[in-house]
Each structure stands twice: as structure tokens, then as C-alpha cells.
A = this chain, B = another copy of it.
Amino acid sequence: MTRTTGTSRRRTLTLRDVSEASGVSEMTVSRVLRNRGDVSEATRVRVLEAARALGYVPNKIAGALASQRVNLVAVIIPSLSNMVFPEVMTGVSDALENTGLQPVVGVTNYSPEREEAVLYEMLSWRPSGVILAGLEHTAAARAMLENADIPIVEIMDVDGTPVDSAVGISHQRAGRQMAEAIVAAGYRRIGFLGTMMPHDHRARKRLEGFEGALAKAGLTLADREFYSGGSALLKGREMTAAILKRTPDLDFLYYSNDMIGAGGLLYCLHEGIDVPGRVGLAGFNGVELLDGLPRKLATMDACRLEIGRIAAEIVAGKRTGESEIVELSPTLQPGDTIRAG
């Protein structure tokens, strides 16, 4: 790579280089580059030109150490391949625009230990705030968050006790609402299809809420099917085939996410199964993908963009300035896969 190793060429540039090139003190250069304090227009121009000519890139490490300020916000999420989280990121980025803050992403793969490690790593860079998914963390992670003395926002979920602030929806309630809508539509033999992820607490809570509401209506889940890994769309097909074969009299399938729900929908259409007459279907999340399907899957929007936006605003100090819990209300989108009540 022919890189400058050890003794050679130029060390990387510092303020001093710019200072010498422009004939002013390092402090003045620093002021110019940060737009802070008064600097005469003449020297400002001179300094900027020198900096640009040299190709100077400031060293934020030194700057952060000296000023005790870091313009980074740690965002810790379970996965990037879920579509859901990139969308949250978009909300965060948008809201952070023009605040001088910059998001930095960490991924946990739904592992609490990994979350703890990522959090430790990120806190060691002394970010201005932390946004992380879920309310469930290891004891050590929780302790770190409490000690960090910066804004902490736990997102996606509000069923529990946050360390500081929280923005999300109640997944219990979301599950309950969906169950109520399904029961109201007259379905009785209901099956559940979902991920086998012990650490996906939100999916778990939705199922809990769902079953709770069924119980209130005197019903129980007639069957269930779980998967892990692989193409969600394909798994949705396969699981749907499997569960309908095992329990042919099911009249509704509730999927823990839209992707497997879409797979199930494609399967049913392909098999010529009457949807929503013979079997009703519903998913969760409101992913954009659904718009392109031949029929609209019933789902529930998880307010992802909004969650990201609000979380970022809290971290940026654009809201009350106090810890707050923001519960958003997901809207049920009945689509074409639940028959009219």
C-alpha cells in the first residue's frame, strides 16, 4: 500500500502546519475552522486558504479531549437486515441534521452480551447521547447507562421501565388490538407464526398481548409455528404450508412480521386459497414492500420513522429537557386480508 511507515514524508498535518502557513497562531486557526469567536475577515480567508491548500483535516480526537465535547450519538440496534431499523436510522439522521450531532450505529444481532460490548465500546468514545432498542439489557449495560450522565433514549418499546427516556409503542397493546380486530371479524381458529428469537422481546410482547385478548374472548391459539434464519419471505411460505397442513381448519394466521406474512400471502394466493374468506392474514410493521404485493396484507404500522425522529430530538435537547416516555399509537391497517367484521 506504499503507505508512509515510520520515518518518512510528512507526518499528518496539525494546526501548527496551518498556523505556520498562514502566519497566525494555532489558536486563531482553531477559531477560524470552528467559526467561533471574532476573527477578522482578512485572516479568516487567509487561514481557510492555507488549510485547504494543505489539505488539512482537523483532529477531532484532540478537539474532543480538549473541549470535553463529542458530537456523536450512539445508536444501538439489533440488526440492519430487518428493514425496520434502517428506517429508524433515517428518522434519527433527519432529526439530527443541523444539530451538529452525528449518529454512529452499532449492531447487536439480538444478543444482550453483544449489546453490552457494543455499548461499552461506544461509551468509551464519550458520545453526547445514546439511543438503543428495547428496554431489556444486561445488568452491567443498565449500570453503564445510568452512570453515563448523558441522555439515554430506549426506543421501539414502552412496556417496561426505561433508564431515562423512552419512545415507542406498546407491543402488548398492538398484539391485543390485532387480536380484537380478528375476533371481531369472526375468525375463531387462529394460528401464530413467528421468529424463534428468545431475545426479540417485542415480538414476544405482541404475542402475549395477542393471546391475552384471545383469552378474554374465550379463545386460545389453535396452533403455532416458529422459524429462525433464512429468507423471511420463503420461510413465510414454508411455515404457512406446514401449519395449514398440520391444522387444516385454521381460519386466521397472525404473523410476527410482515415479511413472513407476505410469504404466507403469496403462498395462499398461489394455492388458490380464498383470502380473506377461507383464511385471514395479518402481519406487523407496515413495511413498504407490502405496497407492491398483489393484495394488501393487514398490518400495523410501528411508527418507525417517528420513533427515530423523536428519539433524536430528545438527545439533541430539542424537547422538554426532562426524561420523558413517549408512547405512540400504531394504526391498524386492515388491508384486504381480514374480512369485514
Contact = CB atoms under 8 A, between A and B. Distances in A.
Interface in A51-98: 55, 57-62, 64-65, 70, 80-81, 83, 86-87, 89-90, 93
Given A80-B89, A89-B80, A233 B3 contact: no
Contact of A291 (B234, B288, B293): B234
Contacts of A70: 61
Interface in A191-235: 230-235
Contacts of A150: 3
A90 B93 CA distance: 21
Number of copies: 2
Interface stretch (A40-48, A116-124, A244-252, A274-282): A116-124
Given A1-B323, A86-B80, A266-B294, A124 B233 contact: no
A12 interface: yes
A149 to B, nearest CB: 5
B293 A1 contact: no
Nearest to A288: B231
Counting contact residues on chain A (CB < 8 A from B), the size range is 35 or more
A4 interface: yes
A236 interface: yes
A61 B55 contact: no
Closest CB pairs A-B (n = 10): A233-B292, A234-B292, A80-B86, A231-B291, A60-B124, A231-B288, A234-B291, A55-B147, A263-B292, A57-B123
Interface of A: 1-4, 9, 12, 55, 57-62, 64-65, 70, 80-81, 83, 86-87, 89-90, 93, 102, 104-105, 107, 120-121, 123-126, 143-144, 147-151, 164-165, 230-237, 262-263, 266, 270, 288-289, 291-294, 321-323
